[in-house]
Amino acid sequence: MHLRELSISEDLDLSCMGLSMKDKFEKYWLNSGVGDVQEYNTLFAFALILDPRYKLQSLKLCFEKLYNDQDAIVEVANVMFKLKKLFVEYMPKGRNNSTEASSCTSNPRISKRPKFNLADLDTKDSSDVSIKSKLDLYLEEPRLNRDA
């Protein structure tokens, strides 16, 4: 039974319980939006996506039930933008190559002409391919069985 249905039940006990549960749901899941618009807590959306039993498909389903189709698409995109932004912020930073370069000493006998190496071709080919983050790879994996 949905909380809305429960809160308007003819059974007084069920109605009171439904209203209480609905208040708690809104307290933890909703942020105050502009005017009458309520925004769902992004942190809970992150938790749902990062749970391997639910992932992004479940968030899409939830938003489709809460919003119209167009708003659901916008909300999912908004959550994904924030999640990717957070992921990038916490990604390990690459090594600082500037300290390595400054420690090299120059040798005047080394030729200044460019070197050709076939390994450069492999590097070029791999850099043309879109690199997926660990987050993208995780989201592409199938969901785990919820009963497991």
Residues 21 and 54 grouped into a single domain: no
Q: What is the mean pLDDT of residues 81-97?
A: 79
Domain coverage including residue 57: 41-90
Residues 80 and 47 grouped into a single domain: yes
Give the burial string for 37-74 (b: 16+ CB within 10 Å, else e): eeebeeeebbebbeeeebbbebbbebbeeeeeeeebee
The verdict on residue 108 lying in a domain is: no
> pLDDT of 33-59, one tens digit each?
544 445 667 888 999 999 999 999 999
Q: What is the mean pLDDT of residues 108-131?
A: 56
Q: Is the pLDDT of residue 132 over 90?
A: no
User: Domains in the chain: how many in total?
Assistant: 2
Three-state DSSP state, 103: coil
The pTM of the whole model exceeds 0.75: no
Longest dimension (CA), the chain: 93
Percent of the chain whose pLDDT exceeds 70:
66
Residues 83 and 45 grouped into a single domain: yes
The verdict on residue 84 lying in a domain is: yes
